[in-house]
Chain A
Amino acid sequence: MADDAHLDGNAIGGLLIEIFGQEMTDALGCCAHCGDKNQVGALIVYRGGPGDVVRCPSCETVLIVATRLPAGPRIYFSSLRWLQPAS
């Protein structure tokens, strides 16, 4: 994981506000593969392809892919079991 290519969930904060209508980098998400719970800001983000690939920092499973289509932002859900905004 100690490569120099990835960012973190802070990098998709703007796109998530577009979709959810509120700040989400402090939301808590649960990995469906390993069950680890992390705030979105702590997730690992790989940028460079057509979308931002968001992985679990514990097991590296792809949780979501965030992308921007001509019609607007879209999130593909892969292994994000749940997502809960900060209270």
Chain B
Amino acid sequence: MARTAIRRGLTWEVASVIDLVDETSRVRSLVLDVPDWPGHLPGQHLDVRLTAEDGYQTERSYSIATPADGRRVTISVERIVDGEVSPYLADELRVGDKLELRGPIGGYFVWTPGDERPLLLVGGGSGIVPLMAMLRARIAAASDVPVRLLVSARSVDEIIYGAELESIANANSGVEIIRTLTRSQPSGWTGYARRVDQAMLAEIAWPAGRQPRAFACGPTGFVETVASGLVALGHDPGTIRTERFGPTGG
């Protein structure tokens, strides 16, 4: 489905904002209605284009946060201070506004529902967004693929989709959510309290012998720590997919 859709090339389309959800103090989800959306796979992204009154245009890529759902597509935008695009999307945009976008894009960092291998998802900060699409797709498909999601955030308030992650873990025996808080922890915190490292990966990763698939998304250093750590644990590099968020000017 998605490939057929992709082969038409990419055209800019006008989407409408149908809902806005504040996920954390810095992240807002945009629920969009895209009339000709061809569907997508979990992990894919889209490009957003803004045009100023003087004609100046700029583009940014945003991961899609939800599985395919007809014309409805959700992205989650982290507000980057002094950014060119994200402050507009996260602060100024209102329900009913129009937004130019194109997609879906991506064939490398995608999880295909139906893949039965155990899934390890590792997200740093807003790197959780495409992983959430994978997790939500796994739930929507009522798949019994075992999933472990390791999410790293600065504080508990900065875990994007925090409440939903908790209810997913409670309602699905095959899903484990592991949290690490790198800057501040609430009293009585029982999760990890440091940056993701080799020892943590050794504790939470599926044994390499189970031939798991791993997806890691986040800042460059974070992603490289995860990828090299999994390889050191014996994981086949070909089963590890990475996507780096860099200093893109937001």
Contacts and interface: CB of A to CB of B under 8 A. Distances in A.
In the complex, which of the residues B110, B244, B245 has the most CB atoms of chain A within 10 Å of its own CB atom?
B244
B246 interface: yes
A83 interface: no
Contact of A47 (B7, B105, B110, B248): B248
A40 B243 CA distance: 12
B5 to A, nearest CB: 10
Contacts, number: 87
Nearest to A7: B246
Nearest to B217: A10
A24 interface: yes
A24 B6 CA distance: 10
Contacts of A40: 108
A10 B246 CA distance: 12
Contacts of B221: 2-4
Given A13-B45, A14-B61, A26 B108 contact: yes
Interface residues of A, number: 28
Given A24-B107, A41-B242, 14 more contacts: A4-B220, A5-B220, A7-B245, A7-B246, A8-B242, A14-B47, A14-B105, A23-B105, A23-B107, A25-B105, A25-B107, A26-B110, A41-B241, A86-B107
Contacts of A47: 246, 248
A53 interface: no
In the complex, which of the residues A23, A25, A26 has the most CB atoms of chain B within 10 Å of its own CB atom?
A23
B219 interface: yes
A1 B45 CA distance: 25
A13 B6 CA distance: 11
B224 A10 contact: no
A33 B242 CA distance: 24
- Complex A-B, nearest 7 residue pairs according to Cβ-Cβ distance, in ascending order: A41-B108, A26-B107, A25-B108, A13-B105, A23-B107, A7-B246, A23-B6
Contacts of B219: 4
Contacts of A5: 220, 246-247
B108 A9 contact: yes
B108 A17 contact: no
Given A14-B102, A40-B108, A86-B107, A21 B7 contact: yes
Nearest to B110: A26
Nearest to A86: B107
B126 to A, nearest CB: 14
A56 B53 CA distance: 40
B202 interface: no
A27 B106 CA distance: 11
Contacts of B246: 4-7, 11, 47
A81 to B, nearest CB: 20
A79 to B, nearest CB: 20
A78 interface: no
B9 A7 contact: no
